[in-house]
Chains A and B, each alone.
Chain A
Amino acid sequence: MTAQAAAGLELEGVSWTLKKGTSPILMETTLALNPGRVLGIVGPNGAGKTTLLRLLYRYYRPTSGRVWLDGEDIWRMSARNVARKVAAVLQEQPTDFALTVREIVALGRTPHRSGLGGFGGARDAEIVDGALDRLALRGFADRHLGTLSGGERQRVMVARALAQEPGLLILDEPTNHLDIRHQLEVLRLIRDLPLTIVTSLHDLNMAAGVCDDVLLLKSGRTLGFGPPHTVLCEASVSRAFDVDARRDHLSLSATDHLTFHLQEE
């Protein structure tokens, strides 16, 4: 259903500081992501994951460095043009103002509308229906968001982002507060979408399972960037999280699995 090609993303020495004179929240981050790749951002609390995401969806302006989207500096593009290419599913919970699921999903069309009003149109309705179907939300279309469970709401927000027809999709902890089944569904969706995806994740095993590349952050510094099996090695993970990490190979499921223990004093 995506009308737009997956976007390429590049960060060039991106730093971000809250106030002049304080130490940066994110330091000199450089990476390149080819169209269609899935990047997982992992690290302990306060590592700068959310800050990095905010820099990608043009909420924060880099203190130094640049964010390139398909070779264009996102701060040289208008907010609306960025919004046509980048969608984000955040942790924000909408206040219940009696909007229906369909109305929320239709918000994704906002940056594509031109001029005053300009609501509706058959194509918009088709795209919204497509997004509702993709997340199996058609039956919920006329319900108020306030009447849905946490997992259903999360799906609504993903559908809204898909209705935006982005080339780059950003997800902030998309599996938070979901039960196992819904977590797995979100992960499968991430795998299946033909988009460039950047997602922050708490669970390292999950990140290893779903991501093409992983960026490991600690206190705003990059500890590693690359394929999960190289970045999420025992030494790096132990260092990042201040724990003893051990990576076992699960023979039955044929995957690597990390376990963690508190370091001995």
Chain B
Amino acid sequence: MTVESTTPVPKRRTLKALPVLAAGGIVVLLASLSMAVSVGAVSVSAGTVWGVLLNKLMPGMIEATWSQGREAIVWDIRFPRALLAMMVGAGLGLVGASLQAVTRNPLADPHLLGISSGGAFGAILALLHTGLFLGLLTVPLFAFFGALMATGLVLGVSRIADATSADRLVLAGVAVSFIVMAAANLLIFLGDPRASHTVVFWMLGGLGLARWDQLIYPLVILLASGGWLLSRAGALNAMTVGDETASTLGIPVARFRLLVFAVGALITGVMVAFSGIIGFVGLMVPHIVRMLVGGDYRRVLPASAVVGAIFLLWADVVARTAMAPEDIPIGVITGLIGGLFFIWLLGRRR
């Protein structure tokens, strides 16, 4: 049969530039890392930053031309903090991108859907009430279960209220978020007042507590979850077309969506445990990424991780420098930018 095209065909910009974009992303990421480590109350030159790094990785390679104090600032404080920023940004970007596919909702975001609040609830429960009876893993584990519980609530509410459309799902998430935050605030109120102060500050989002010996937890979760999501990129692509169509492609739609939500809760919970509530990264990053690399999840996922990491590095630089020597909670920065982005998105969709 012959079907002729009825409209002239403008050739779209092809994506030959993809390797260039990928290389560019990595370069910008490394430059941002370098920048984030050198900027602060004590400014450190980029040469020193990389010198310290090389010296730590391969002792004796270069002669130390910097003071012990500088080295301590770079290695003990700023590097772990910058690495945590990268991991949290990458993780939240991945969660946002995946949730947007399985809900077919461009507004899906771990913060808007109440998953972050659930994580915070779990973390607060562990910090103020149960004590760290499982050691260092207590807070991340509780945060994960809290996030999972909030996820279950959102899915339950959206099913009961038949709120599967984009806007109503977000409303269900916001409602659950309010309830869970109310419960979390009650926990803070009931807790030891002195500890509560620390917890409130942590909840606003901050990377100041980053320590080398704890980075392994978010790293493992990020790599494992990110790898799994990437292996399911084809299914995520199919989910954007529709539940029924995805199911005719052999995808167990309901189970797959639950799995992605569970993995999203895992990443979110662990990131919340180490950095508090950092909102809107998962909402913004995938949109920016799709403009750069298109919609195929084989590219969207890695690009979301890289762009999320870059974004949070810079947000943390702003948080540390805007009112130096005070640290503004990074959640304030991302909330401000994210809220404006959300408004722009609402305007664009109509």
With A139-B5, A139-B9, A192-B1: A103-B244 Cβ-Cβ less than 8 Å:
no
Taking CB atoms and an 8 Å cut-off, the chain A residues in 153-187 that contact chain B are: 155, 157, 164, 170, 185
Q: Is residue B4 within 8 Å, beta carbon to beta carbon, of the partner chain?
A: yes
B39-47, B52-60, B100-108, B333-341: which lies at the A interface?
Answer: B100-108
Q: In the complex, which residue of chain A has the Cβ closest to the Cβ of B3?
A: A136
B125-133, B246-254, B308-316: which lies at the A interface?
Answer: B246-254
Q: In the complex, which residue of chain A has the Cβ closest to the Cβ of B166?
A: A95
Mask, A71-87, CB within 8 Å of B = 1, is 00000001111111011
Can you give 5 A-B contacts (C-beta < 8 A)? A54-B244, A88-B244, A92-B241, A98-B295, A164-B249
Mask, A129-141, CB within 8 Å of B = 1, is 0000011110110
Taking CB atoms and an 8 Å cut-off, the chain B residues in 75-115 that contact chain A are: 100-101, 104-106
B146-154, B231-239, B259-267: which lies at the A interface?
Answer: B231-239
Binding site for A on B (CB under 8 A): 1-7, 9-14, 100-101, 104-106, 166, 230-231, 233-235, 237-238, 240-245, 247-252, 290-291, 294-296, 298
Q: How far is the CA of A59 from the CA of B247 in the complex (A)?
A: 7
CB < 8 Å neighbour of A136 from B4, B245, B249, B251: B4
Q: Closest 8 A-B residue pairs measured CB to CB?
A: A83-B250, A92-B242, A98-B295, A139-B9, A80-B250, A111-B250, A99-B295, A136-B3
Q: In the complex, which residue of chain B has the Cβ closest to the Cβ of A102?
A: B296
What size tier do the contact residues of chain A reach? 35 or more
CB < 8 Å neighbour of B295 from A97, A136, A155: A97
Across-interface contacts of A82 in B (CB, < 8 A): 250
Across-interface contacts of A155 in B (CB, < 8 A): 3
Across-interface contacts of B3 in A (CB, < 8 A): 135-136, 155, 185, 189
B245 touches A95 (CB 8 A): no
CB < 8 Å neighbour of A84 from B244, B250, B251, B296: B250
A110 touches B238 (CB 8 A): yes
Across-interface contacts of A92 in B (CB, < 8 A): 241-245
Across-interface contacts of B296 in A (CB, < 8 A): 99-100, 103
Across-interface contacts of B101 in A (CB, < 8 A): 97
CB < 8 Å neighbour of A95 from B2, B240, B291: B240
Distance in Å: Cβ of A60 to nearest Cβ of chain B: 10
Q: Is residue A229 within 8 Å, beta carbon to beta carbon, of the partner chain?
A: no
Mostly, the B contact residues are loop
CB < 8 Å neighbour of A100 from B9, B106, B294: B294
Mostly, the A contact residues are mixed
Across-interface contacts of B11 in A (CB, < 8 A): 139, 142
With A100-B295, A103-B296, A142-B14: A189-B248 Cβ-Cβ less than 8 Å:
no
B295 touches A59 (CB 8 A): no
With A90-B242, A97-B101, A134-B1: A107-B249 Cβ-Cβ less than 8 Å:
yes
A18-26, A112-120, A234-242: which lies at the B interface?
Answer: A112-120
Distance in Å: Cβ of B246 to nearest Cβ of chain A: 9
Q: Is residue A108 within 8 Å, beta carbon to beta carbon, of the partner chain?
A: yes
Q: Is residue A232 within 8 Å, beta carbon to beta carbon, of the partner chain?
A: no
Q: How far is the CA of A5 from the CA of B106 in the complex (A)?
A: 40
Q: In the complex, which residue of chain B has the Cβ closest to the Cβ of A54?
A: B244
Q: How far is the CA of A135 from the CA of B5 in the complex (A)?
A: 9
B106 touches A79 (CB 8 A): no
Q: Is residue A47 within 8 Å, beta carbon to beta carbon, of the partner chain?
A: no
CB < 8 Å neighbour of B294 from A99, A140, A157: A99
A107 touches B238 (CB 8 A): yes
Q: Is residue A16 within 8 Å, beta carbon to beta carbon, of the partner chain?
A: no
Q: How far is the CA of A142 from the CA of B237 in the complex (A)?
A: 16
Distance in Å: Cβ of B86 to nearest Cβ of chain A: 25
Q: How far is the CA of A58 from the CA of B12 in the complex (A)?
A: 37
Q: How far is the CA of A139 from the CA of B10 in the complex (A)?
A: 8
Across-interface contacts of B249 in A (CB, < 8 A): 83, 107-108, 110-111, 164
Q: How far is the CA of A13 from the CA of B157 in the complex (A)?
A: 37
A142 touches B12 (CB 8 A): yes
Q: How far is the CA of A110 from the CA of B295 in the complex (A)?
A: 16
Across-interface contacts of A134 in B (CB, < 8 A): 1
Q: Is residue A143 within 8 Å, beta carbon to beta carbon, of the partner chain?
A: yes
Q: Is residue A246 within 8 Å, beta carbon to beta carbon, of the partner chain?
A: no
Q: How far is the CA of A110 from the CA of B237 in the complex (A)?
A: 10
User: A107-B241, A110-B238 provided; 20 other pairs, C-beta below 8 A?
Assistant: A54-B244, A57-B247, A58-B247, A79-B251, A86-B248, A88-B244, A88-B248, A92-B243, A94-B245, A95-B106, A103-B295, A108-B249, A135-B3, A136-B5, A140-B9, A151-B6, A185-B1, A188-B1, A189-B3, A192-B1
B245 touches A88 (CB 8 A): yes
Q: Is residue A104 within 8 Å, beta carbon to beta carbon, of the partner chain?
A: yes
Q: How far is the CA of A135 from the CA of B1 in the complex (A)?
A: 8
B295 touches A119 (CB 8 A): no
CB < 8 Å neighbour of B240 from A83, A97, A151: A97
Among A88, A142, A185, chain B packs the most CB atoms within 10 A around the CB of: A142
Q: How far is the CA of A103 from the CA of B248 in the complex (A)?
A: 17
With A99-B294, A103-B296: A59-B9 Cβ-Cβ less than 8 Å:
no
Q: In the complex, which residue of chain A has the Cβ closest to the Cβ of B11?
A: A142
Across-interface contacts of B241 in A (CB, < 8 A): 92, 94, 104, 107
Among B166, B244, B250, chain A packs the most CB atoms within 10 A around the CB of: B250
Q: How far is the CA of A104 from the CA of B246 in the complex (A)?
A: 11
Q: How far is the CA of A84 from the CA of B5 in the complex (A)?
A: 29
Across-interface contacts of B247 in A (CB, < 8 A): 57-59, 79
Across-interface contacts of B231 in A (CB, < 8 A): 116-117
